[in-house]
Structure formats: C-alpha cells, structure tokens
Structure 1
Amino acid sequence: MTQPLATDSLTPSLTAAVDALHGSGFPAALVRLIQQQVAFDCALLLGVGQRPVYLYDNLHHQRALLFDRYLTRHFSQDPFMQALKDGLPAGVWTLAQVSKGRLDPEYRHHFYQATGWQEEVGLILPVRDGLTLMLFLGRLDKRSTLGQDELARLEALFPLVHSLCRQHWREETPRLAQSPARPGGNDLRVEVEQAIASLGSESLTRRERQVAGLLLQGLDTEAIAQTLGIGAGTVKNHRKHLYGKLHLRSRAELFHLFLNHLITAPTPGPP
C-alpha cells in the first residue's frame, strides 16, 4: 500500500515550490519539498542527454568531486545513467534496484567511497521530448538506510514532483539554478560569471576571453560573431589562439578546464 503524504507539513513547502516555478530558485524549493517527507543529506539535479548537464546541487561535502570527477569522467559508469540508457522508466529507483548488486569497483571507489554517500535514490523525470531530469538524493555514512515507509512516501510524492518539473521545464532550456549561499557570500551564478570573466586572465587577451566565455555558453562561430560584431573568420582566429595558449584541442577540453577553474578559483567575499 502506498504511504500517504503528510499533507499538513507539505503545504508550506509545496506553496513555496509553486511560487518558485519558472524562477532560478525552483530546484532548491523542490528539494526542500521532498525533504519535508524524507530526509536526505545531499541532492544533485542533472539534465540528461548525450552527457549530463548540471542544473542544481546542495552539496557541502566533497563537492569538488562532482566537477573534477563525475561530470567530466565517471558519469558513464554511474549505474543510474547506465540504467536510463537501457530504458529505465520514470519513477523512484534505489541504487540496489538499478545496480542489481553489481556496482563497478572503480566507480564505487571514485564516487561512493570518495564522497561518503552510503544511500542513494534517483528520481527519473522525463519532462518533454529530448529532456529527462535525474534527481539524485543521497545520505552520508552517519544516517540510517532508507526504510520501506520512506521509499513509499517518495513514490507517493513522485507524481507531484514530476508535474512540477514538467511545468517548470516545459519550454525553457535547462540553465544553472540558484544555489545555496557560498562561503564567500556569492551564489553559484555569480561564481560562474566571475570564473568565465577570469578564465585565462594571465595569458588571454580581453577578446579571447570573450570568445572563450561565449564558447562555454554553447554559441557557435556565427552566433559569437554576431554577438561581438566581428567576422566569423576573426572568431575562428581568436578560438585558435586561445586554444593554443591554453593547450587545448577542443571545446570539450575548454569546458573541462573551466569546470576545474570554477572550483579552484578564489571566492571573493561580499562587498
């Protein structure tokens, strides 16, 4: 039997999630809504396509591993990602269900042992053609394992969560969400903007940094040329020069470099 939702405690967080729809604070409000029913230490939200697209996290423990390892290398070993590729349908799934007791030893070492996650649940959330969300909910080693009643509450809450996600991402392109306050008082969006502006600051010209920033945002040569008011050939020259100065061969390597720069760049304090 499906565990009934605690509607009295759900109402304030549900109201907050509905109010946050179509705003950058929605993912955080959605996670708080879920945490009203079942407690988790960590949450990570990704858009899933050819490779995962980061949308939101509330990680405070070993957060650098998310960018340094998972999003750049180890996501393909993730049993949830493998199961989704094999046709895992929408719903609430435990790690035991998707791994079937056979977890890649390298992935266990590089993710679970490194981060301390001892319990993991994944919510598979198809929101429209070409976009499926995966919301990971994790517990660290000091918390007890997930009980059947907690899993039942998540399953009862899933249709509501799914509906809210379909509403929020119905038409817009996935984008970075508002994240919890950072140690220096900045949120993730501010840090991303600062990291783009400072990438290669010691070796790139101002125009090369502009081109690098637009490449990181996914713009192609023609779009960059139009944005900067320069010719497509000039854009290609700037790209060739910045790749050479940063010892890169592709946009993927530029993205990898940027993620590491984002994590390691000093965070300025509040003004």
Structure 2
Amino acid sequence: MPPSPATDTLSLTAAVDALHGSGFPAALVRLIQQQVAFDCALLLGVGLRPVYLYDNLHHQRALLFDRYLTRHFSQDPFMQALEQGLGAGVWTLAQVSRGRLDPEYRHHFYQATGWQEEVGLILPVRGGLTLMLFLGRLDKRSSLSRDELARLEALFPLVHSLCRQHWREETPRLARSPARSDGTDLKGAVEQAIASVGGDQLTRRERQVAGLLLQGLDTEAIADALGIGSGTVKNHRKHLYAKLNLHSRAELFSFFLNHLITAPAGAPP
C-alpha cells in the first residue's frame, strides 16, 4: 500500500535535514522505504573498486567485508554493466544480468545471503564519482511488482538530486588505488590511513582509539597510551563501532583495509 502524503513529507523533510551529515544515507534509505518495502540496502561509491559507504544489512553481513568488497565485486552483474556504460536510473537484476548470472557469484552472494530480488540505483553525482544503491529482498518477500518498480522510477529524480547535493563537495573515499611512485613512503601512507580512519564520523579521541585497536593493542594498553581509564576506552570503542556500523575488531580491520586502499595520497587526517 502506498504511503500517505504526510508520511512522504516527513521522510523527505528528514532526508533534507540530514544533508551533509553522517546520517544522510540512512535517512535517504528510509525515504525510499516509504515507497517500496525491502529488507536490505547497500550504498557503494564506485571507482576501480567499490568502497563501502552505508548498509543496513543484518543477515550474513560479514560476507560484505569478507567476500564482496575484497573478491567477488568483479563478478557483480551491476558492476559489470556499469563498466560497459550502464546509465543513470533504476535497474533490476534481470535487466543487467540478461539471464546470465555467474554461477560462482550466485553461490557466494545470492545463495549465501538469501537475496532473492535486487534493484540497483545508478547515481552519477559528479565527474569521476558514481554511487550504486542496492535494494534487496530476502527469500520471504514476493517479487518486485510493476507498480513498485514504477514508484522507484518516479522517485529516482528526487533521490538523484539529493545525492548530488550531499556529495557535491564531500569526497567519499573511493576504492581506487592512487598511483604511487616507487619512492612513496608506504609506512607513512599506512600511518596516515590509521590517523584518518572513520573520517569526520568519529571524534578525534575515537579515531585515536580506532588507530590503536588497529595496531593490536588491548583495552588496558590503549588506556595507558592515552592516559585515560579502561572504561573510557570501552565507551569510545562502543561509540566508534556504532557510528561505523561495525560489531567486532575483525570488521574494523576490514573497514580499515578498504580505507587504506582508497585514501587519497597526501590527504590530511
């Protein structure tokens, strides 16, 4: 059943209010959910590699970090279609795969995660930056109807405009390895990536705690290094995990590796 105009207005207002803040992707997804019901959303920036920007995954979420972002993205039919010139718009899996879905990718992604229905919104926001917003349904839901697809297509210009506004000056860390000369200080690049992990989503102290976690320090060692209590360290860790939507140190390492690959050379922390 389509949402009421009042619900539409509230969701749109929330998305506009969230522009240029860390809560914008979640507000955008909630706006779309008012038009079409789906179980999962994943937002990526696309360069030579995809880079994680946002998700609301709950089922088999570790596969996103352990498999998709590190290995299987090149088999994704949406990524393959984008490389071949797929334009802006709303696209279904059937349209981009043309019935020829890679068996290995089907096994490692769709069967493993339970995604049965997938729609991709291709959102070029400026030169050199395209976003891909994936909307998925798990096996308990019915297939996307023509009416639902039409609602998504009608909403697309608004979503596209909001994304262009949000990322007009903000620079997501795209997953493309910067060209480095042989003389580049790799140690310096790693240290810089550690210092800037999480970007403006985290406070300075939270970035410090994240950096020390990435270096393998335990709670007591971090407390000693920063001159704070172990309880304070635990609170900072809890908050930074929540802000980055992480649940373990393993996910933090995966998040950092993606950031390390994509952080621009010479960018300030």
> Normalising by structure 2, what TM-score?
0.69
The answer on 1:77 being equivalent to 2:75 is yes
Q: Contact 2:173/2:264 (CA < 8 Å) preserved in 1?
A: no
Instruction: Determine helix, strand or coil for the equivalent of 1:55.
Output: strand
The counterpart of 2:263, out of the listed 218, 236, 247, is: 218
Counterpart Cα distance in 1 of 2:210 and 2:60: 20
Large movers: runs of 4+ above 2 Å: 4-9, 192-197, 212-220
- Answer whether contact 1:5 1:153 (CA < 8 A) is retained: no
Aligned to 1:118: 116
Tell me if the contact between 1:5 and 1:157 (Cα under 8 Å) persists in the aligned partners.
Answer: no
**One-letter amino acid matched to 2:19:** L
Distance 1:215 1:123, change over 3 A: closer
Q: Relative to 1, partners in 2 of residues 1:170 and 1:156: Cα closer, same or farther, differing over 3 Å?
A: same
1:171 Cα deviation from its structure 2 partner: 1.2
Aligned to 1:197: 212
Amino acid at match of 1:170: R
Shift of 1:197: 2.3
Partner of 1:146: 144
Q: Contact 1:38–1:153 at 8 Å: present in 2 too?
A: yes
Q: Distance in 2 between matches of 1:223 and 1:44?
A: 26
- Mapping of residues 129-168 of structure 1, within 5 Å: 129-168=127-166
Deviations 1:123-165 (A, max 9, x none): 0000000000000000000011100000000000000000000
- CA-atom RMSD in angstroms: 2.8
The 1:223–1:7 alpha-carbon spacing in structure 2 relative to 1, beyond 3 Å, is: closer
Q: 1:8 to 1:68 in 2, by over 3 A?
A: same
| Aligned-partner SS, 1:29 | helix
Are 1:9 and 2:7 an aligned pair? yes
Task: Kindly provide the amino acid, as one letter, of the partner of residue 171 in structure 2.
Answer: T
Consecutive unaligned residues of structure 2, counting only runs of 5 or more, are: 175-200, 219-224, 226-255
* One-letter amino acid matched to 2:133: L
| Contact 1:92-1:122 within 8 A present in 2 as well | yes
Change (3 A) 1:87 1:20: same
Instruction: Determine if the alignment matches structure 1 residue 55 to structure 2 residue 68.
Output: no
1:87 is aligned to 2:78: no
Q: Distance in 1 between matches of 2:123 and 2:11?
A: 20
The answer for the alignment partner of 1:258 in structure 2 is none
Structure 1 residues 18, 102: CA separation in 2 closer, same or farther (over 3 Å shift)?
Answer: same
What SS does structure 1 have at the residue aligned with 2:42? strand
Distance 1:13 1:175, change over 3 A: farther
Q: Secondary structure at the match of 1:162?
A: helix
Secondary structure of the residue aligned to 1:92 is strand
Aligned-pair CA distance for 1:201: 1.8
- Alpha-carbon offset, residue 5 of structure 1: 8.3
- After TM superposition, list the pairs within 5 Å mapping 1:102-113 onto structure 2: 102-113=100-111
* Equivalent-residue separation in structure 1 for 2:111 and 2:262 (angstroms): 33
TM, length-normalised to structure 1: 0.68
Q: Aligned pair count?
A: 202
Partner of 1:171: helix, strand, or coil?
coil
Structure 1 Cα separation of the partners of residues 158 and 264 of structure 2? 35
What amino acid does structure 1 have at the position aligned with 2:117? E
Offset at residue 9 of structure 1 (A):
2.5
Q: Secondary structure at the match of 1:124?
A: strand
Task: Report the Cα offset of residue 199 of structure 1.
Answer: 1.9
Q: Please state how far the C-alpha of 1:202 moved relative to its aligned partner.
A: 5.8
Tell me which amino acid in the other structure corresponds to 1:197: L
Kept in 2, the 8 Å contact 1:5–1:156? The answer is no
Cα contact 2:19–2:166 (8 A) shared by 1: yes
Percent identity, aligned pairs only? 80
SS in 2 for 1:72: coil
Q: CA deviation at 1:172?
A: 1.1
- 1:223-259 Cα shifts (integer Å, max 9, x gaps): 68xx7xxxxxxxxxxxxxxxxxxxxxxxxxxxxxxxx
What SS does the corresponding residue of 1:113 show, helix, strand or coil?
A: helix
Q: In 1, Cα distance between the equivalents of 2:3 and 2:264?
A: 44
